[in-house]
Amino acid sequence: MQKITLGAMPFMSVMPTLLVGANVKGKPNYMTAAWATVACMAPAMVCVAVNKMRYTAKGIEENKTFSLNIPSANQVVETDHCGLVSGSQEDKSEIFRSFYGKLKTAPLAEECPINIECRLFKSVDCGSHLLYIGEVVEIHADTACVTDGKPDITKINPIVYAQLTYFDVGKQVDRAFSAGKKYTKK
């Protein structure tokens, strides 16, 4: 394997495609985000990097709450639209039907199979982006997308983002915390 250097860039192999929900001036707004992941197990936390210019950032700062909504592959058009237009230019409150959970101020997109309700734990100013770390207060799941009490990605059919392209999950390669048991020293 011959390596070349590509310079510093915020690269990850694949990313999730999510919708960050926040109330801005009392109205729901949804923003597409791919720079998001799990942050902590106990307490349960997730995080998302939001550019300081985003309308969504205003809502998170205003309420100290937000949601991460996981759309299915069949919602790719609505999802991408939320990443093309800003709530500062166009009202995005009607793209999804919104409902509220425990926090009352984090809008949850009814049509998305999974909604993660978050209370802002901390924001880290990284430069262009604020890393919002949210404590998960509840997960709302479509019953059709749950197996044995857990979200099931084979049913959710989430959108994977990489290289300016949306993909689906693809096929299983092996089982985690298990495949490594087949390792033998060379």
Ligand X SMILES: Cc1cc2nc3c(=O)[nH]c(=O)nc-3n(C[C@H](O)[C@H](O)[C@H](O)COP(=O)(O)O)c2cc1C
**Residue number with CB closer to ligand X (97 or 150):** 97
Among 16, 51, 76, 120, binds ligand X (CB under 6 A): 51
- Is 54 a binding residue for ligand X by CB under 6 A? The answer is yes
Among 61, 62, 80, 135, binds ligand X (CB under 6 A): 80
Q: Which residue intervals of the chain are DSSP H helices?
A: 55-63, 76-84, 153-156
**Residue number with CB closer to ligand X (35 or 121):** 35
Nearest 5°: CA angle at 82, between 80 and 88?
150
- Which amino acid is residue 147, in one-letter code? T
Taking Cα atoms as reference points, which of 94, 62, 89, 75 lies closest to residue 32? 75
Q: How many C-beta atoms lie closer than 10 Å to residue 47's C-beta?
A: 21
28 Cβ contact partners less than 8 Å away, ≥ 6 residues apart? 21, 22, 92, 93, 96, 98, 107
Of residues 108-167, those binding ligand X (CB under 6 A): 161
- Here's the x/- map for ligand X, 30-49, by CB under 6 A: it reads as -xxxxx-------------x
Q: What is the dihedral of CA 154, 159, 161, 167, to 10 degrees?
A: 70
In angstroms, what is the minimal distance from the CB of 40 to ligand X?
19
**Residue number with CB closer to ligand X (126 or 179):** 126
Total residues at interface with ligand X (CB under 6 A) = 20
In angstroms, what is the minimal distance from the CB of 27 to ligand X?
11
List contacts with ligand X (CB under 6 A).
17, 29, 31-35, 49-51, 54-56, 80, 83, 85-88, 161
